[in-house]
C-alpha cells in the first residue's frame, strides 16, 4: 500500500498565484502543501515581471546619467555594462525569492520541490528528487502558470531564435534584434534593448502594436519607439527564419502580399503565452477546459470538479501577476466558506515601455464600441510641476466619465510613473468615486498625483493648471 500524506489544501505551482494563496490560507489556519517543480516565485519573480523591470531600471539609470548635464551634472564616459546589469538584476530576483521562501516557512507552509500530477484515483502524485510522494487534499488549487507559445514556421528551432526567458540571461547583448510580436512582452524588450543601442525591429501581425491599447497612445508611443532605435513593422506575417553563412538570422515576412526580410543577430519570439497544463493528467479528475485553452473556472475560481480550484495564467483569463494573486485570495476564501468572487471591471494594467502606459476600466474604444455616451478629459504632463522637475514633460492622463450615470468608468495614463498613478485611479473607479469626491481630496504638491486632481476637475472644465475651453 502506498503511503498517502494528508493535507487540507494542496497548491500546485508557486508563482504569484500559488505562493500568495499558500501564505493567505496558512494565515487562516489551513494545513497547506505547496508543490513547485522549478522555482519559488514562478515566472513573475524569476523570468517575468521582476527581472524585466530590473533591466528597465538599469536602462533608465543609463539614460539619466547620459542626460545629467540637463540637471547641471557633468558626467562623462557613461557606458552600459551588461554583465553588471545582469548581476544587479539577479540580486533583485534572488533577494525577493529568498524573501518569499522565508515567508512561506514562517507561515508554516509545507513546500515540496517536485512536479505534481493527478493520479487515477484522485490522489496527487509528486515526483520529487527524493522519490514519489502521494497526497490526499480536501481542496486543491492549480496554479501552474503559462509557457511560451511557439509559431509553427520553418526555422523557429534555430539557435538564433530565443524566448523571453532566454533573452533575460544573455551573456552579451546583440548588435541587432528582431522581435516577432508587438504585444506587451515584445514592446518592453524592444525598449530595453533599443535604449541600450541595439538595432531593434518589431514585426507585428496586427495593424497596430499593443492591439488592446488606446490608438492615440500607440501612435504617440510609436514616435518614441523610433527615437529608441526601434523599427516597427505592422500588418506583417513572419513566414520563416533562416541563418546565413555568417550566423545572422534572416526573418522572412509577408506585408501587403509582398515578401520581405530583415537580418539580425538574434530573434526574440514573443507571440504570447499559453496555459501550462503539461503533465497534470487533468483527465483523471474530470476537469473541463475552456475555449481559450485554459482551465475552466467560475467566478469563485472553482473548476468543474468542486474540490479543485484554478487560478492565474493556467486559466488564461487575464495573464497578469496581480490578477493571479487576487484570484488566489478569492479561491481560498471560497474554500474557507467565505463568499468572494472575481470581478474584472477594474483590473489595472501597466506596460513598462518608455513612456509607460497604464490603464484601468474602459478605454475610449470600449466606450465607442458599446455606444455609451461619455466625456473625456485629457491633461498633459507638461502642465505639472513635478513632471518638469523630473524633466519628463511627455505624456498625458485621460479620464472617462459616463454621461448618464456620471460615474468614472476608465482612465489611461501615458507618461513617467504611470504605474503609480494608476493605483489611485483604480481605487477611485473601484469604489465608484465621483468627480466631487476627487475634488474634496487633497493631493500633495509637487507630485504627479496632481494630474489626477486636474483631470477630474477638467471633466467639468474646471482644471486649474491647464486651460481647457468650456
Chosen residue from 7, 10, 13, 230 binding ligand FAD by CB under 6 A: 13
Q: Tell me how far CA of residue 338 lies from CA of 10, 58, 329, 330, 334, in angstroms.
A: 19, 43, 11, 9, 5
Interface with ligand FAD, residue 44, by CB under 6 A = yes
Interface with ligand FAD, residue 17, by CB under 6 A = yes
Interface with ligand FAD, residue 7, by CB under 6 A = no
Instruction: Compare residues 42 and 410 and give the one whose CB is closer to ligand FAD.
Output: 42
Interface with ligand FAD, residue 150, by CB under 6 A = no
Binding map of ligand FAD across residues 164-193, x = CB under 6 A, - = no contact:
x--------------------x--------
Name the minimum Å distance from CB 298 to ligand FAD. 18
Chosen residue from 133, 204, 276, 356 binding ligand FAD by CB under 6 A: 276
Angle at 380 between CA 456 and CA 210, to 5 degrees: 95
List all residues 6 or more positions away from 301 whose beta carbon is below 8 Å from its beta carbon. 141, 309, 310, 311, 315, 327, 330, 331, 334, 342
Chosen residue from 14, 25, 285, 421 binding ligand FAD by CB under 6 A: 14
Name the minimum Å distance from CB 50 to ligand FAD. 8
Q: Contact, 362 vs 375, CB < 8 A?
A: no
- Length of the chain equals 470
Chosen residue from 249, 321, 335, 435 binding ligand FAD by CB under 6 A: 321
Chosen residue from 10, 25, 34, 35 binding ligand FAD by CB under 6 A: 35
Q: Contact, 330 vs 300, CB < 8 A?
A: yes
What is d(CA 399, CA 377) in angstroms, rounded to the nearest whole number?
5
List all residues 6 or more positions away from 215 whose beta carbon is below 8 Å from its beta carbon. 208, 365
- Cell (9 digits) for 365: 474604444
Q: What separation, in Å, do the N-terminal and C-terminal C-alpha atoms of the chain show?
A: 80
Chain residues 384-413 in contact with ligand FAD, contact rule CB under 6 A: none
Chosen residue from 111, 202, 320, 433 binding ligand FAD by CB under 6 A: 320
Instruction: Compare residues 112 and 435 and give the one whose CB is closer to ligand FAD.
Output: 112
Choices 33-41, 288-296, 329-337, 425-433; region in contact with ligand FAD by CB under 6 A:
33-41
Give me the catalytic one of 152, 445, 461, 465: 445
What is d(CA 148, CA 156) in angstroms, rounded to the nearest whole number?
13
Helix (H) or strand (E) holding 399: strand 395-402
Is there a catalytic annotation at residue 150?
Answer: no
Q: Which residues pair with 266 in a beta bridge?
A: 177
Name the minimum Å distance from CB 387 to ligand FAD. 23
Active centre residues (catalytic)? 445
Q: Which residues lie near ligand FAD (CB under 6 A)?
A: 12-18, 35-39, 42-44, 48-49, 52, 115-116, 143-146, 164, 185, 276, 279-280, 312-313, 319-322, 324
Amino acid at each position: 500500500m502506498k503511503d498517502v500524506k494528508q493535507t487540507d489544501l494542496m497548491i500546485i505551482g508557486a508563482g504569484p498565484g500559488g505562493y500568495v494563496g499558500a501564505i493567505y490560507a496558512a494565515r487562516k489556519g489551513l494545513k497547506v502543501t505547496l508543490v513547485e517543480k522549478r522555482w519559488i516565485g514562478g515566472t513573475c519573480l524569476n523570468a517575468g515581471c521582476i527581472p524585466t523591470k530590473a533591466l528597465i531600471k538599469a536602462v533608465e539609470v543609463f539614460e539619466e546619467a547620459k542626460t545629467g548635464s540637463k540637471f547641471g551634472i557633468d558626467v562623462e564616459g557613461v557606458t552600459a555594462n551588461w554583465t553588471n546589469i545582469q548581476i544587479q538584476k539577479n540580486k533583485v530576483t534572488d533577494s525577493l525569492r529568498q524573501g518569499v521562501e522565508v515567508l512561506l516557512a514562517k507561515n508554516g507552509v509545507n513546500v515540496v520541490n517536485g512536479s505534481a500530477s493527478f493520479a487515477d484515483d484522485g490522489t496527487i502524485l509528486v515526483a520529487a528528487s527524493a522519490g514519489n510522494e502521494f497526497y490526499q487534499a480536501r481542496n486543491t488549487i492549480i496554479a501552474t502558470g503559462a509557457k511560451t507559445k511557439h509559431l509553427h514556421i520553418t526555422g523557429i528551432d534555430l539557435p538564433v531564435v530565443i524566448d523571453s526567458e532566454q533573452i533575460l540571461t544573455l551573456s552579451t547583448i546583440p548588435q541587432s534584434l528582431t522581435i516577432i510580436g508587438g504585444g506587451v512582452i515584445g514592446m518592453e524588450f524592444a525598449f530595453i534593448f533599443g535604449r541600450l543601442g541595439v538595432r531593434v525591429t518589431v514585426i507585428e501581425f496586427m495593424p497596430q502594436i499593443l492591439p488592446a491599447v488606446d490608438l492615440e497612445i500607440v501612435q504617440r508611443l510609436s514616435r518614441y519607439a523610433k527615437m529608441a532605435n526601434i523599427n516597427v513593422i505592422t500588418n506583417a506575417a513572419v513566414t520563416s527564419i533562416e541563418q546565413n553563412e555568417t550566423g545572422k538570422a534572416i526573418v522572412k515576412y509577408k506585408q501587403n502580399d509582398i515578401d520581405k526580410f530583415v537580418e539580425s543577430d538574434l530573434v526574440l519570439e514573443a507571440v504570447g503565452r499559453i496555459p501550462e497544463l503539461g503533465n497534470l493528467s487533468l483527465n483523471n479528475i474530470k476537469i473541463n477546459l475552456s475555449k481559450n485553452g485554459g482551465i475552466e473556472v467560475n467566478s469563485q475560481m472553482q473548476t468543474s470538479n468542486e474540490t479543485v480550484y484554478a487560478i492565474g495564467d493556467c486559466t488564461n483569463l487575464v495573464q497578469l501577476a496581480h490578477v493571479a494573486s487576487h484570484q488566489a485570495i478569492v479561491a481560498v476564501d471560497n474554500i474557507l466558506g467565505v463568499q468572494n468572487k472575481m470581478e474584472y471591471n477594474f483590473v489595472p494594467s501597466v506596460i513598462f515601455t518608455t513612456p509607460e502606459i497604464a490603464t484601468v476600466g474602459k478605454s475610449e474604444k470600449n466606450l465607442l464600441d458599446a455606444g455609451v455616451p461619455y466625456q473625456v478629459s485629457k491633461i498633459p504632463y507638461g502642465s505639472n510641476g513635478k513632471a518638469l522637475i523630473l524633466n519628463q514633460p511627455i505624456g498625458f492622463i485621460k479620464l472617462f466619465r459616463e454621461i448618464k450615470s456620471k460615474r468614472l468608468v476608465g482612465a489611461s495614463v501615458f507618461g513617467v510613473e504611470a504605474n503609480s498613478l494608476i493605483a489611485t485611479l483604480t481605487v477611485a473607479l473601484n469604489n465608484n468615486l465621483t468627480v466631487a469626491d476627487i475634488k474634496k481630496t487633497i493631493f500633495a504638491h509637487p507630485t504627479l498625483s496632481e494630474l489626477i486632481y486636474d483631470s477630474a476637475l477638467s471633466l467639468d472644465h474646471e482644471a486649474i493648471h491647464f486651460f481647457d475651453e468650456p
